[in-house]
């Protein structure tokens, strides 16, 4: 099925955000230390699931994770939760957990996603990037220009 423009815009926002998180965390898994440099796929993994819309794009809720740890998180969330609490404290964890318990579908306008895309686009464009990241940013820019002309 062909993706709608709205879906493509959502995907683009996530891809900018995800690349920023991975850049921030040096393309290294915060849990086990596997890194892109060592040949591992690094993803941006949510502590509290992505579906909790109020914190989907909260930088404190998303960290570089290797695909193995990200997958493990689905079945053993305690591992990532423990790490999070050790770094950011029980209070923030409880706050995020409450948001998950009281999660509701929040309808967002186009502007919401565009603002987030713009923020991370600019952060990436002004950051010192590796060759790998430069390639990624160039391809994101092409998509951005197509979706927001
Ligand atoms: Zn890992």
Q: What is the pLDDT along the chain (149 residues), one digit of tens a residue?
A: 788 998 999 999 999 999 999 999 999 999 999 999 999 999 999 999 888 888 999 999 999 999 999 999 888 899 999 999 999 999 999 999 999 999 888 888 889 999 999 999 999 999 999 999 999 999 999 999 999 98
Q: How far is the CA of 3 from the centre of ligand 1 (A)?
A: 31
Lookup: tokens for 123: 């952060």
Q: How far is the CA of 97 from the centre of ligand 1 (A)?
A: 23
Q: How far is the CA of 86 from the centre of ligand 1 (A)?
A: 17
Q: How far is the CA of 130 from the centre of ligand 1 (A)?
A: 21
Q: How far is the CA of 27 from the centre of ligand 1 (A)?
A: 11
Q: How far is the CA of 50 from the centre of ligand 1 (A)?
A: 18
The pLDDT value given to residue 23: 98
The pLDDT value given to residue 45: 96
The pLDDT value given to residue 73: 86
Q: How far is the CA of 70 from the centre of ligand 1 (A)?
A: 7
CB environment 69-82: b (16+ within 10 A), e (fewer): bbebbeeeeeebbe
Alpha helices by DSSP H, listed for the chain, are: 5-24, 67-75, 77-101, 110-125, 131-147
The pLDDT value given to residue 117: 97
Q: How many domains does the chain have?
A: 1
pTM confidence score? 0.94
The pLDDT value given to residue 1: 74
Q: How far is the CA of 4 from the centre of ligand 1 (A)?
A: 33
The pLDDT value given to residue 105: 80
CA of residue 73 relative to chain centroid, distance: 15
Domain of residue 102, residue span = 5-147
CA-derived radius of gyration, the chain: 16
């Amino acid at each position: 099925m062909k993706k709608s423009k709205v879906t493509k815009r959502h995907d683009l926002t996530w891809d900018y955000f995800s690349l920023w998180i991975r850049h921030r965390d040096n393309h290294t898994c915060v849990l086990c230390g596997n890194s892109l440099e060592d040949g591992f796929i690094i993803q941006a993994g949510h502590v509290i699931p992505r579906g909790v819309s109020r914190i989907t794009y909260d930088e404190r809720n998303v960290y570089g994770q290797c695909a193995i740890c990200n997958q493990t998180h689905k079945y053993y969330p305690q591992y990532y939760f423990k790490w999070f609490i050790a770094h950011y404290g029980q209070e923030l964890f409880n706050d995020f957990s409450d948001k998950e318990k009281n999660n509701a579908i929040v309808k967002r306008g186009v502007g919401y996603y565009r603002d987030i895309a713009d923020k991370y686009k600019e952060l990436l464009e002004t950051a010192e990037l590796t060759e790998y990241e430069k390639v990624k940013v160039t391809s994101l820019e092409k998509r951005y220009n197509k979706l927001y002309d």
